[in-house]
């Protein structure tokens, strides 16, 4: 067994001479089994303070948001699917619909099939764009109810074109006063959500492998080789050597935090040192010209911190274009791990997260 050069974050690690053998408890690490993993960062900001973040919704976020709003507005007996495939008779193939809502009767027969196209443009949807969507819907005989949801509004001509072809135009707009519009109300000025999470300020991962270390192997590691299981099959969510190092660091921090006796940093305070030794619960290998090189153990050293970030959620409503009365409202916030949190409200079904 030999030890590979340490995989490090971009910033240099502090002196680790203070780490003793007692700091190196043996732990198993598994890849791809955690529901959520912490982000490893490569900079040190020990003086980090609470920051304010505002939601900037991406095109993907808007699709998820429409899915959530449709789920609540259509009722609990409706199946919602994002990115559903629907047969296009003119093209003679299945084509993507952004959101579909399917309602069935007691015999499982489909009684309504709603198709929704979602657009997040920088300007109001024009007649050309809407006309293209109308033609697409016209060739999908399965779709009984047709709708477009725009996050940027429509031109007058576009709405006339949509309704002339039986397509209802909706829009997502800012909910400027969340204390009005629904029986369930929020403070007029909104509120703050505080997200807390642990993250590495900097770290190094040192792998011990079941092969002799050599200059040739060193050169291969510089090319970021692929990793796999003992059969040579790819690992889920971990493609290569560098990704493996980052995942091990993330799993190590989770294992360390799971021990009641582990020292924890103060919220937005200085980072603290940690050293964790892991052994793989499943065989993990590096693909090389020598064959599959198994990883025996991993030693992770570095400093981590507890970050608290205040988020001011966005308030949005879904309504038919041209009408002021909202159909459904939502509160949405984007967290540091990439998750989008949403809570929707309506006068019919109350609150649903």
pTM of the model: 0.61
- Model confidence band, residue 240 (pLDDT cutoffs 50, 70, 90): very high
- Show Cβ contacts of residue 279 under 8 Å, excluding neighbours closer than 6 positions: 26, 27, 28, 29, 296, 297, 298
Helices (H), 13-172: 59-74, 127-138, 156-164
Distance CA 169, CA 145 (A): 12
What pLDDT shows up at residue 154?
95
Condensed to tens digits (0 to 9), the pLDDT of residues 153-191 reads 999 999 999 999 999 999 988 888 887 777 777 887 778
pLDDT(350) > 60: no
Condensed to tens digits (0 to 9), the pLDDT of residues 12-30 reads 333 333 322 223 333 333 3
What pLDDT shows up at residue 29?
39
Q: How distant is the alpha carbon of residue 235 from its chain centre?
A: 20
Condensed to tens digits (0 to 9), the pLDDT of residues 50-87 reads 344 455 566 677 777 787 677 666 666 678 888 889 99
Question: Which residue would you say has higher pLDDT here, 318 or 7?
Answer: 318
Give just the sign of the alpha carbon dihedral 249, 194, 326, 184.
Answer: positive
What pLDDT shows up at residue 212?
82
Share of the chain above pLDDT 70, in %: 79
Query: Which residue ranges form the domains of the chain, and what is each CATH number?
Result: 2-52+194-310 (no CATH), 59-176+315-352 (3.40.1350.10)
Q: Three-state DSSP class for 106?
A: coil
- Cite the beta strand spans of the chain per DSSP E: 2-3, 7-8, 26-29, 52-54, 78-88, 93-104, 110-119, 145-150, 167-174, 193-209, 227-228, 272-280, 285-288, 291-312, 314-320, 328-334, 340-346, 350-352
DSSP character for 281?
Answer: S
What pLDDT shows up at residue 37?
24
Across 251-265, average pLDDT: 90
């Amino acid at each position: 067994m030999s030890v590979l050069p340490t995989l490090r974050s971009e910033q240099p690690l502090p002196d680790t001479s203070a780490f003793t053998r007692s700091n190196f408890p043996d732990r198993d690490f598994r890849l791809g089994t955690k529901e959520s993993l912490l982000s490893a960062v490569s900079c040190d900001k020990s003086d980090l303070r609470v920051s304010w973040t505002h939601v900037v919704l991406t095109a993907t976020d808007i699709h998820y948001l429409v899915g959530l709003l449709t789920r609540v507005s259509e009722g609990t007996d409706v199946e919602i699917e994002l990115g559903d495939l629907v047969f296009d008779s003119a093209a003679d193939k299945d084509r993507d619909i952004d959101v579909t809502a399917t309602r069935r009767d007691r015999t499982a027969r489909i009684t309504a099939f709603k198709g929704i196209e979602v657009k997040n443009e920088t300007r109001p949807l024009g007649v050309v764009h809407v006309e293209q969507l109308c033609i697409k819907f016209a060739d999908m005989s399965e779709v009984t109810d047709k709708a477009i949801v725009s996050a940027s509004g429509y031109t007058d001509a576009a709405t006339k074109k949509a309704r002339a072809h039986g397509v209802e135009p909706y829009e997502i707009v800012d909910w400027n006063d969340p204390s009005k519009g629904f029986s369930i109300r929020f403070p007029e000025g909104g509120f703050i959500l505080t997200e807390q999470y642990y993250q590495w300020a900097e770290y190094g991962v040192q792998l011990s492998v079941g092969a002799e270390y050599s200059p040739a192997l060193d050169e291969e590691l510089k090319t970021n080789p692929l990793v796999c299981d003992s059969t040579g099959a790819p690992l889920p969510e971990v493609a290569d050597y560098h990704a493996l190092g980052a995942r091990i660091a993330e799993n190590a921090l989770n294992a360390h935090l799971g021990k009641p006796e582990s020292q924890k940093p103060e919220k937005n305070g200085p980072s603290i040192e940690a050293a964790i030794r892991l052994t793989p619960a499943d065989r993990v290998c590096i693909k090389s010209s020598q064959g599959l090189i198994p990883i025996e153990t991993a030693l992770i050293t570095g400093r981590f911190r507890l970050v608290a970030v205040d988020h001011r959620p966005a308030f949005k409503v879904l309504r038919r274009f041209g009408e002021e009365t909202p159909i459904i409202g939502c509160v949405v916030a984007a967290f540091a791990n990439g998750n989008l949190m949403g809570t929707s409200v309506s006068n019919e079904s109350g609150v649903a997260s």
